[in-house]
Homo-oligomer: A and B are copies of this chain.
Amino acid sequence: MIKKKLSIVDIANKLNISKTTVSFILNGRAREKRISEELVERVLKFVKEVGYKPNSLAKSLRTGKSHIIGLMVENIADPFFANIARYIEDGAYKNGYRIIYCSTDNDADKTRDLIGMFRDRHVDGYIIAPPVGVEEDIAELLKDDLPVVLFDRYFPGIDCSYVVTDNLDSTYTATEYLVEQGYKKIAFITLESHQTQMQARLDGYKKALEQNNLQSYIKEVVFNQETKYMLEPIADFLKNNKDLDAIIFGTNRIGTCGLKVIHNMGIRVPDDIAVISFDDHDVFELYSPSVTAIAQPVEEIAANTINILLSKLDSSTPNTDNKKVTLQNDLIYRGSSQVNTKLSAVK
């Protein structure tokens, strides 16, 4: 007894009226089209009764709007992106939009392919944490007047809305903080990457060291999904630089990997070595003693991103300039009695 799905034509036939009338009523254009109250009610009642729902594919084909937002993150399994995905989902959902997501793995070719797939599915808007190498593809989207918001990183040469954090200032402040505490041999262990946010983090570190005439110790690790392949190079680096007294990790992933190495090598934090990591994570809070972290305002990032996109999608708002938002990170001091401080206040 499979009840075939009803179409608008079925509704119209059952009520002996035209499907257009039904369409107008269902789209709230009854008054505008001067359709009698009585008929409106009759239709609405019947529609509710039989549980009719318009086929959104057909609707999308005709209107060109899919009410779907394409979300491209580096890796949905990464807690930073997973959390952002959740907040974005909530914001979108409340406004009648759905999310179709995918992970780019920072692979430009894969990303290009995914953008193409989003395009031919006619997503209404794009939220992208873009890998290096897709500048032209983003530019293409913009040229075709499609709503795009980048986050986490951006392309300096492209005029596009984005939401990022003050990466450079954060690592600068964190490094300065370590210097003030008397640390001299401070390493920066990060992922090998040419993305703006990763470069900025590195630059902040370099800037602080230069200003203090300290030597830099930089290790760039190649990303790998398999944790063991990330542990080895970190372990090697630490073995070859036994005199380090502090480390800053460039991402949460490298930070947890680094802690595993430190843990395995029996190095004590902060007695043997001080540690600060970019991105906050339960691990940093629970590690003994807990680890100071540069916490990105995940909820704010997501809220800004989705709101900018929604306002672009809202045809009633005039097509204003692209919004470029830089949010402040929180340096969460741990392992001492200090109070957390907005980085601005530290500067």
A79 to B99, CA, bound (A): 19
Measured between beta carbons, the chain B residues less than 8 angstroms from A260 are 282, 285-286
How many residues of A are counted as interface, with CB atoms below 8 angstroms from the partner's CB atoms? 49
Measured between beta carbons, the chain B residues less than 8 angstroms from A57 are 57, 60-61, 66, 121-122
Interface residues of A in 212-262 (CB under 8 A from B): 256, 259-260
Mark interface residues in A278-307 (1 if CB within 8 Å of B CB, else 0).
000111011110000000000000000000
* Stretch of A32-40, A48-56, A178-186 at the chain-chain interface: A48-56
Q: A77-B85, A260-B286, A285-B260 are in contact. Are A53 and B120 (CB under 8 A)?
A: yes
Is A76 positioned at the interface, with any CB of B under 8 Å from its CB? yes
- Which of A55, A57, A281, A288 gathers most chain B CB within 10 Å? A57
Is A150 positioned at the interface, with any CB of B under 8 Å from its CB? no
A208 to B: closest C-beta gap in Å: 27
Q: Which residues of A contact B (CB under 8 A)?
A: 2, 53-58, 60-61, 66, 68, 75-79, 82-83, 85-86, 89-90, 93, 98-103, 116-117, 119-122, 143-145, 256, 259-260, 263, 281-283, 285-288
Q: Sample 9 A-B pairs with CB under 8 A, ordered by A number.
A: A2-B145, A56-B121, A56-B122, A58-B61, A77-B82, A77-B85, A78-B82, A101-B101, A256-B286
